[in-house]
């Protein structure tokens, strides 16, 4: 089966977030970048599906030229093709991002080449006309903007069924069985392929890239396209860190000697029986 | 803007298993009411809507209108009345009780058009976010996720504040589009009591669904995970990298047992495979709201702290007095959890033995 995974490059934030002086971005001078966590799991899931059912994984991101680093990280995990929708570094909203992804999907060649996927051991239906993929995977929401909608918008534009927040995925003879937990109850969805599915961290534990994988990724070609930006109906004016975040804990003591004070505190909070 | 102008705001009702309104949904109602009562100008909208003749609430009843899926019988009438909701639409056919995100969104789109709604609001839950994303895609309108407040700007524009990074960062933004589509952040809005209780009129609504809308429907299996849930536990004993490895969690489990709580862990612990992901507290794991969060050997990365913003009291046990967790905690013990926790367990047992 042919799988497209859309990932996002996000700042690697540690103990605190700092906003740039103009209030438009997270200050990343002291931090690196990474692939948003849900999406790394989406790539791992795609690689596992392909290991099981055959086919190939394409990773796609929309971002600045440096986002090629994140694509290479995902190639090292086992994706075989990478597409960068290159931007000038400004932030794209979810509608423009979805539009760019849709255009890239429509323009992409059938990843497996001109031949139709072999029917014998491919359980999935052949890709629908206009969609060269059996499955489009997304993260449920990006770690930074948390818009919760890019995958759903892509699904609608391509006329594909869509389910989000998935933590267990199986490809069957008739499509996909996707599961998630909702308030302690398991929800299962049986959906036909091709489909758009967004996943959450916990669906799997992503592997560490192998050395051969990293070497292959380093040499791989990144396909580049330059989509056109358009303004959104949700317009960012300013980012800010919520007030009152910083306090200083009252230190009860050091090491085991602090235990009597800690015990007294637990008693005061009413958590001791 | 005059507070006399009351826009119609559709509010997606999410219900618990017993049929009562979910907490997150009640918070979303508070937010929806603030929109209806003034932060949403009837004229505040995109240029296209401004060119449409009626900017009044013509066609809509004004105020918050509840939308319930599952037919008239499932409308939580007493609760809606106590919150002063005057109108509720029960979407039929009743077989839409089964969760079907795209069909639900199609129904909301139809109802919003029929009532000339100024906004559609849902809680930022898994269901709420998913349905609103579909509604954005169906209508072609922007959708603002995880809003914490809204106000009407000087030019009648809708100004919103929304969460990024799961609440570690806020974004001030302007949201176009009529209806305005928003989800409400789970932790950030406090549910306020209604002004006046009111009798709630229930209307039926038959949506015009397309066949594709029903391609995705949930089948629920009633299996509830046994035991206490991390999300609702009164005490959470957290463990991070400082636990040292998969074998170090015994003392945390023991302490959690003594305090009537459960163990939660940081992301590094699940990424290393020391503990299952379902125990993760944080942006990509579970949000907790305990009376006490005892965070042990956890540095306090923002991805973790986003999961415990609602903890009443945070006590940190950490070897590093300058760890970020110290500036989020109320109390701290500076020391190695592998020494502090066994001593604490022994002290609690001694106390139980003597009482």
The pLDDT value given to residue A126: 47
Neighbours of B228 (CB within 10 A): 15
On chain B, the residues whose CB falls within 8 A of the CB of A13 are 165, 168, 301-303
Bridge partners, residue B316, by sequence: B295, B332
Residues A34 and A89 sit within 8 Å (Cβ to Cβ)? no
State how many domains chain A has.
1
User: Where exactly are the structural domains of chain B?
Assistant: 8-214, 235-354
A163: confidence class by pLDDT, cuts 50, 70, 90: very high
Which residues lie closer than 8 Å to B238 by C-beta, 6 or more apart? B252, B263, B264, B265, B266, B281, B293, B294, B295, B296, B298, B308
Which residues lie closer than 8 Å to B206 by C-beta, 6 or more apart? B92, B93
Query: A15 in helix, strand or coil?
Result: coil
Q: How far is A120 from chain B (nearest CA, A)?
A: 26
Q: How far is B194 from chain A (nearest CA, A)?
A: 26
The pLDDT value given to residue B4: 45
Element (H, E) at A151: helix A150-158
Neighbours of B190 (CB within 10 A): 8
Q: pTM of the entire structure?
A: 0.92
A23: confidence class by pLDDT, cuts 50, 70, 90: very high
The pLDDT value given to residue A128: 54
| Chain-chain contact of B327 with A251 (C-beta, under 8 angstroms) | no
Rounded Cα–Cα distance for residues B307 and B304 (Å)? 6
The pLDDT value given to residue B355: 62
Residue A249 lies in a domain: no
Rounded Cα–Cα distance for residues A66 and A194 (Å)? 31
Q: For a pLDDT cut of 90, what percent of chain A falls above it?
A: 82
Which residues lie closer than 8 Å to A68 by C-beta, 6 or more apart? A82, A84, A222
Q: What single string gives the DSSP state of each residue in B228-250? A: --TTT-SEEEEE-GGG-SGGGGH
Rounded Cα–Cα distance for residues A231 and A94 (Å)? 10
Residue from A14, A253, A185 nearest B268 by CA: A14
Chain centroid to CA B282: how far?
A: 14
The pLDDT value given to residue A247: 77
Q: In the sheet that A185-191 helps form, which strands lie side by side, from edge to edge?
A: A168-171, A176-182, A185-191, B218-224
- Please tell me what DSSP assigns to residue B306: T
Which residues lie closer than 8 Å to B229 by C-beta, 6 or more apart? A184, B262
Q: Is A157 on the interface with B (CB under 8 A)?
A: yes
Chain centroid to CA A216: how far?
A: 22
On chain B, the residues whose CB falls within 8 A of the CB of A157 are 137
Mutate to test the interface with B, among A42, A203, A238, A256 (most CBs of B within 10 A): A256
Residue A177 lies in a domain: yes
Rounded Cα–Cα distance for residues A86 and A18 (Å)? 25
Q: Is A14 on the interface with B (CB under 8 A)?
A: yes
| Chain-chain contact of B165 with A180 (C-beta, under 8 angstroms) | no
- CA B259-B260-B264 angle, 5° bins: 85
Residue A180 lies in a domain: yes
Helices and strands per DSSP (H, E), number in chain A: 6, 14
Query: Span A223-229, mean pLDDT?
Result: 96
Q: Do domains B8-214 and B235-354 have the same CATH topology?
A: yes
CATH number of the domain to which A185 belongs: 3.40.50.620
The pLDDT value given to residue A118: 39
Classify strands A135-139 and A81-86 as parallel, antiparallel or unpaired: unpaired
Query: A117 in helix, strand or coil?
Result: coil
ipTM rounded to 2 decimals: 0.93
Q: How far is A200 from chain B (nearest CA, A)?
A: 7
Which structural domain, as residue segments, surrounds residue A151?
A: 2-225
Residue A234 lies in a domain: no
Residue A189 lies in a domain: yes
Region B8-214: CATH code: 3.40.50.620
| Chain-chain contact of A202 with B270 (C-beta, under 8 angstroms) | yes
Bridge partners, residue A185, by sequence: A182, B224
- Please tell me what DSSP assigns to residue A78: T
On chain B, the residues whose CB falls within 8 A of the CB of A95 are 136, 142
Q: One digit per residue, pLDDT tens: chain B, 355 residues?
A: 444 457 899 999 999 888 899 999 999 999 999 999 877 765 444 334 433 433 343 456 789 999 999 878 889 999 999 999 999 999 987 667 689 999 999 999 999 999 999 999 999 999 999 999 999 999 999 999 999 999 999 888 999 999 999 999 999 999 999 999 999 998 777 777 776 788 999 999 999 998 899 999 998 766 666 667 899 999 999 999 999 999 999 999 999 999 999 999 999 999 999 999 999 999 999 999 999 999 999 999 999 999 998 899 999 999 999 999 999 999 999 999 999 999 999 999 998 887 6
Token pair belonging to B60: 């809509």
Residue A179 lies in a domain: yes
Rounded Cα–Cα distance for residues A206 and B269 (Å)? 13
Rounded Cα–Cα distance for residues B187 and B310 (Å)? 7
The pLDDT value given to residue B50: 38
Query: Span A257-270, mean pLDDT?
Result: 96
Residue A138 lies in a domain: yes
Residues A51 and A113 sit within 8 Å (Cβ to Cβ)? no
Residue A261 lies in a domain: no
Q: Which CATH number fits domain B235-354: 3.40.50.1220, 1.10.486.10, 3.40.50.1100, 3.40.50.300?
A: 3.40.50.1220
| Chain-chain contact of A146 with B334 (C-beta, under 8 angstroms) | no
């Amino acid at each position: 089966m042919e799988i497209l995974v859309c990932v996002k490059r996000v700042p690697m934030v540690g103990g605190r977030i700092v906003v740039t002086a103009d209030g438009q971005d997270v200050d990343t001078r002291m931090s690196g970048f990474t692939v948003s966590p849900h999406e790394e799991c989406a790539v791992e899931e795609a690689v596992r599906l392909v290991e099981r059912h055959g086919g190939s994984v394409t990773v796609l991101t929309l971002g600045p030229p440096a986002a090629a680093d994140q694509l290479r990280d995902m190639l090292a995990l086992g994706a075989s093709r990478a597409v960068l929708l290159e931007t000038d570094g400004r932030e794209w909203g979810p509608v423009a991002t979805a539009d760019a992804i849709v255009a890239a999907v429509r323009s992409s060649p059938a990843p497996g080449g001109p031949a139709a996927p072999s029917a014998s051991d491919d359980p999935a239906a052949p890709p629908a006309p206009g969609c060269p993929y059996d499955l489009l995977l997304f993260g449920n929401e990006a770690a930074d903007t948390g818009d919760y909608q890019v995958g759903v918008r892509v699904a609608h534009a391509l006329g594909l069924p869509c389910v989000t927040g998935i933590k267990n995925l199986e490809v069957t003879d008739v499509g996909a069985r996707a599961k998630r937990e909702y308030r302690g109850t398991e929800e299962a969805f049986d959906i036909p392929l091709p489909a758009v599915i967004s996943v959450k961290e916990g669906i799997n534990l992503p592997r560490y890239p192998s050395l051969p994988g990293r070497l292959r990724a380093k040499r791989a070609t990144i396909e580049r396209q330059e989509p056109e930006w358009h303004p959104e109906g949700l317009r960012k004016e300013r980012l800010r860190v919520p007030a009152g975040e910083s306090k200083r804990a009252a230190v009860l003591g050091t090491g085991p000697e602090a235990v009597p004070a800690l015990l007294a505190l637990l008693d005061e909070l009413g958590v001791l029986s | 803007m005059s507070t006399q102008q009351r826009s119609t705001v559709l509010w997606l009702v999410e219900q618990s298993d017993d049929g009562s309104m979910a907490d997150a949904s009640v918070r979303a109602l508070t937010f929806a009411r603030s929109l209806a009562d003034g932060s949403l100008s009837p004229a505040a909208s995109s240029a296209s809507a401004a060119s449409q003749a009626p900017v009044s609430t013509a066609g809509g009843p004004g105020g918050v209108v509840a939308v319930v899926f599952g037919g008239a019988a499932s409308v939580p009438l007493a609760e809606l009345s106590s919150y002063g909701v005057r109108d509720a639409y029960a979407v039929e056919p009743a077989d839409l009780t089964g969760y079907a995100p795209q069909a639900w969104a199609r129904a909301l789109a139809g109802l919003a058009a029929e009532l000339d709604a100024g906004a559609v609001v849902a809680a930022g839950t898994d269901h709420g976010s998913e349905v609103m994303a579909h509604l954005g895609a169906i209508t072609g309108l922007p959708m603002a996720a995880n809003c914490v407040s809204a106000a009407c700007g000087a030019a009648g524009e809708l100004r919103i504040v929304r969460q990024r990074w799961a609440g570690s960062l806020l974004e001030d933004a302007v949201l176009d589009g009529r209806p305005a589509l928003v989800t409400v952040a789970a932790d950030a809005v406090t549910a306020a009591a209604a002004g006046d209780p009111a009798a709630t009129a229930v209307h039926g609504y038959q949506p015009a669904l397309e066949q594709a809308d029903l391609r995705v429907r949930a089948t629920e299996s009633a299996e509830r995970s046994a035991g206490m849930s991390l999300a609702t536990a009164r005490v959470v004993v957290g463990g991070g990298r400082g636990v040292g490895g998969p074998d170090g969690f015994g003392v945390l489990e023991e302490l959690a047992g003594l305090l009537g709580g459960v163990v939660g862990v940081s992301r590094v612990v699940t990424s290393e495979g020391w503990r299952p992901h379902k125990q993760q507290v944080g942006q990509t794991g579970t949000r907790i709201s305990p009376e006490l969060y005892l965070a042990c050997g956890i540095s306090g990365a923002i991805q973790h702290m986003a999961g415990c913003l609602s903890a009443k009291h945070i006590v940190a046990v950490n070897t590093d007095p300058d760890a970020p967790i110290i500036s989020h905690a109320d109390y701290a013990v500076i020391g190695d959890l592998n020494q502090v926790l066994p001593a604490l367990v022994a002290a609690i047992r001694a106390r139980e033995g003597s009482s």
